A and B are shown apart, each in its own frame.
Chain A
Amino acid sequence: MTDLLWLAALVALPTAVALASYVRFDVERLRTLSVAAAIAMLLTALFVARSPALRDLSIRTDALSWAPGGDAVIRLNTLSAVLLPFAAALWLLTVAVTPRAALDRGGLRRAALATLVTLASFLTESPVVLLMLSVASVWTFLSALGDPAHARQRRIVWAYLGFSTLMLAIGVAILVSPGVRHPAIEAAGLWLIVVAALVRKGIVPFHAWVPEVFDHGRLGPAILFSAPQLGAYITVVLIVPRASPEMLRLIALLALGTAVYGAALALVQRSARRACGYLFMSQSALVMAGLDCTSVTALAGGLVVWLSAGLAFGGLARCVLVLEARRGRLDLDTYHGGYERTPLLAISFLAMGLACTGFPGTLGFVGQELLVDGAVDLFPVMGFAIVIASALTGLAVLRMYFSLFCGRQDALAHSTLRFGLTRREAWTFVALVIALVAFGLAPRPLVDSRFAASSEILRLRDARLRSTP
């Protein structure tokens, strides 16, 4: 019962903010409330993640599935326990550093709802519930693109993510329906779920919507939609336990290609936003590649990269958003300068970019090392692809850093204008960088928990494959 109370507290916080957004508060007061709720949620989620007693909760029902024993509609285990603070941290990052110009009541409500959906998704293993939450998250994202200026991007997202959701719906229907027990039909259903996950994660050849939405859509909602990587969760919960080794290998190959492709294209972009889009594709693909390995170490590496890439990429893209609020749209073909005016933003951008590339001393390094180390015996090509992707990502990040903060005496606008970060923004970035470095320098508790989760996932996979005729 205590377990459920803790989970209820987690769910209540974003719900309360979403409800408060209907009260006629001043937007800044609503933001303060959101920040307080996000900090409270982060602390609660950290407590849940650290508490062994709360880490094995399962509520099953056969109302949503014909599988024997039903499905776990609420499931808190080693995998999801760490994902809860991750979702809370992303919410905190969103509400704490979104520039005032891009902030409105609807945006804060959507951020709370998106967090609620992410949280609920990480707490279930039921395909039907995951499908419903996937629809809800796409709807939240689409509602952020509701204004006429983003009509085209809305249609693009609608086309791609609508297709993804449709595939997921058909796949889940096949998976849970009682009459279908033929292996070929089950495999077809699984392939549809795979396609849905690939589209959602922007894996080549289903990727074109990602850079487009980052470039011309609204960057804030795009980050909040992408960074938690619900596609990765769908992969771990629905695909990995059921897929054949050949299917996993094909997904991993596509993901590796995307990791290199995204990093290479991020390097030549003229728009900072579009470069962020390609960087996200590359990072997200690395996670996918790790998740589709049947090695405990590589899967643990994928799970670590999931967290590090989500936080580091979320922070990096937020830096771009904060900078855009001060300087307008950012072009990477010219030098913008301004390091001396916003040193903290520059240092944070560099640190988070380096965490994305897997630079030593950050959490990204630990994840990528595990990924390479675990995959190299089963799949040597993965090692080389990660090496190339990491090298290109490093160059792309440094190019962005030099262009956005260096190469010019001072920033473009008048010297009397205030360019520095607000205290809230400054401390949020400092906290994020410290978290990425602290987990990078002392990764053992986190990595051990990811090893435990990875072993559990592969144990379930083996059990399921053995029980399949």
Chain B
Amino acid sequence: MTPLAWLVLVGVGSPAALFAILAAASLIAPAAPPLRRPFTARREQWTARIAGAFIAASFVALSLAIAVNGSATRLLSYGDWSASREGGIAIEFLVDRLSLAFAALSAAICGVVSAFSNRYLHRERGYNRYFVLLAMFVTGMLLVALAGNVAVLFIGWELVGLSSALLVGFFHERPAPVSNALRVLSVYRISDAAMLSAAVMLRSIAGTDSLALLFSGGIGAVSTVGLTETSATIIAVLLIVAVAGKSALLPFSSWLPRAMEGPTPSSAVYYGSLSIHAGCFLLLRSAPLLEHAAGARIFAGALGLATAIFAAIATRVQSDVKSSLAFAALTQVGIIIVEISLGWYTLAFIHIVGHACFRLLQFLSAPNVLHDLHGMEDAIGDRPHAPSWTERLLSERVRRRVFLVALERGFLDSILDRVIVGPFTSIARRLSNIDRRLCNAVMPGDD
């Protein structure tokens, strides 16, 4: 293997090894009485140190990989992983400036959040569980960033999704986080299904699951793999649906405030910084495909614009700081999608990096800022208020209506319940009753 291949392997392998170690400890400790001790401050320290060391190793390796690789685009293949013959899953990483930079950014941000979480979650039940899920998330983000084929991309996508849902339900002794986690996961599963369907179509039409041609080969590559404009548009639309689910674009935005039930550091890294941008990054990587599918580009642009406007209004009326910040982040995500659909790829990438770092800082400092603000309000005995531009420009009646829509977050939850969840549950329950009746018909008696 070349030095670059080793560096990338260490970069991705470090958080994966961390995940394996912490997960194995969580599994085996309850079964082995000598290990079944309370999670002391000393063990917390060790967990945080180990996590910090592994994530730092990943960041250093990926930074060195950027230096070694320069501006080249390479497909690093680590051979067939699942079988020694054709048909198995191959481990392939697509390495270029974009993917390495995003991977290094992910490792750096997760390292910062890991250090912050050590103090923030001190003596918290589930301290170890948090770090297991954080390690799972870093691994997933790095795989999404560097994926060279659909299987690797999907592995990363799934790891990010599951860790996100389980962290939303981190305080699982209360019902609200748990039901919100299930709701978040439902949207993620739609996103996963859309992405896999795109992969199935790609495989069926083009006969390949390699992303190297599509992600780095330019417009010519799309034609090379045999995609017509129609098939490219269908695949691109499926990808956009996957991105919409993961990045909370309309009509899936309603899960975002629900996801704020998790601990603040995880909200910062997922919904302020990295996970919410994973969709944007995927779309950015798929630029050659989008170039070939004009309809899909317009669709993505419209979706991004609508989301940006909706989130900009919703963020102004949120009653808690995390939801407000989450909608503010969504506004920027919408704008980034518009930039990608307009073909401003460099700007979009700079926007992703800048926004991820800035919003991370805002999320992490939010509890302190809130504390200071309350102190200031107590001191002056009033809440400082200056008329906003909406008050100056819009009539009272219009403002009231917009306020109601924003407060109810566009009624998206109830619309999704009415259009998807309700009919699905009703049909499935009816079918279940038919099964019972079928059994009764075969063998009458009490159910």
Contact = CB atoms under 8 A, between A and B. Distances in A.
B172 A406 contact: yes
Interface stretch (A29-37, A50-58, A248-256, A426-434): A426-434
Interface size class of A (residues with CB under 8 A): 35 or more
B121 interface: no
Interface stretch (B106-114, B197-205, B354-362): B197-205
A402 B181 contact: yes
A16 interface: no
B209 A383 contact: no
B89 A159 contact: no
Nearest to B31: A426
B72 to A, nearest CB: 29
A418 interface: no
Contacts of A189: none
Contacts of B201: 380
A445 B286 CA distance: 35
A39 interface: no
B162 interface: yes
Interface string B425-447: 10011011001101100110111
B428 A159 contact: no
Contacts of B89: 366, 369
Interface in A254-302: 261, 264-265, 267-269, 274, 296-297, 300
A136 interface: no
Interface string B158-199: 110010010001001111001101100110011011001100
Contacts of B431: 261, 264-265
B440 to A, nearest CB: 9
Contact of A377 (B125, B155, B192, B204): B204
B87 A391 contact: no
Given A360-B158, A374-B87, A212 B439 contact: yes
Contact of A387 (B196, B207, B443, B447): B196
A391 B31 contact: no
Interface string A379-421: 0100110011011101100110010011111100000000011
Given A372-B200, A373-B87, A380-B200, A155 B443 contact: yes
B2 interface: no
A379 B436 CA distance: 33
A451 B182 contact: no
Contacts of A406: 169, 172-173, 178
A448 B173 contact: no
A119 to B, nearest CB: 27
Contacts of A354: 162
A27 B420 CA distance: 51
B151 interface: yes
Interface stretch (A98-106, A203-211, A220-228): A203-211
B182 A373 contact: no
B160 to A, nearest CB: 11
Interface size class of B (residues with CB under 8 A): 35 or more
B83 interface: yes
Given A376-B204, A384-B200, A208 B435 contact: yes
Interface stretch (A88-96, A120-128, A178-186, A339-347): A339-347
Interface stretch (B22-30, B272-280, B322-330, B344-352): B22-30
A406 B429 CA distance: 24
Q: Is the interface of B mostly helix, strand, loop or mixed?
A: helix
Interface string A140-164: 0000000000001001100110000
Contact of A451 (B87, B186, B200): B87
B175 A297 contact: no
Contact of B159 (A156, A160, A360, A383): A360
Nearest to A369: B89
Contacts, number: 177
Nearest to A379: B204
Contacts of A427: 31
B88 interface: yes
Contacts of A366: 82, 89
A395 to B, nearest CB: 6
A447 B209 contact: no
A391 B192 contact: yes
A430 to B, nearest CB: 5
A159 B125 contact: no
Contact of B200 (A152, A296, A383, A395): A383
B27 A347 contact: yes
A349 interface: no
B83 A448 contact: yes
B204 A347 contact: no
Contacts of B428: 264-265, 267-268
B182 A297 contact: no
Nearest to B445: A152
A337 B443 contact: no
Contact of B439 (A209, A407, A408): A209
Contacts of A327: none
B26 A347 contact: yes
A155 B186 CA distance: 38
B82 A359 contact: no
A223 B84 CA distance: 34
B6 interface: no
A337 B169 CA distance: 12
A398 B185 contact: yes
A426 B197 contact: no
B85 interface: yes
Contacts of B125: 340
A453 to B, nearest CB: 13
B120 interface: no
B174 A407 contact: yes
Contacts of A444: 80-84, 88
A387 B200 contact: yes
A297 B87 contact: yes
Q: Which 6 A-B pairs have the closest CB atoms?
A: A383-B200, A297-B87, A406-B172, A344-B30, A426-B31, A360-B155
14 contacts: A261-B431, A335-B175, A339-B172, A343-B26, A351-B27, A374-B87, A380-B200, A390-B193, A395-B186, A398-B165, A402-B169, A407-B178, A408-B175, A451-B83
Given A377-B204, A434-B27, 15 more contacts: A208-B436, A265-B432, A265-B435, A267-B428, A274-B432, A347-B30, A380-B201, A380-B204, A383-B200, A383-B203, A394-B189, A395-B182, A398-B182, A409-B173, A444-B88
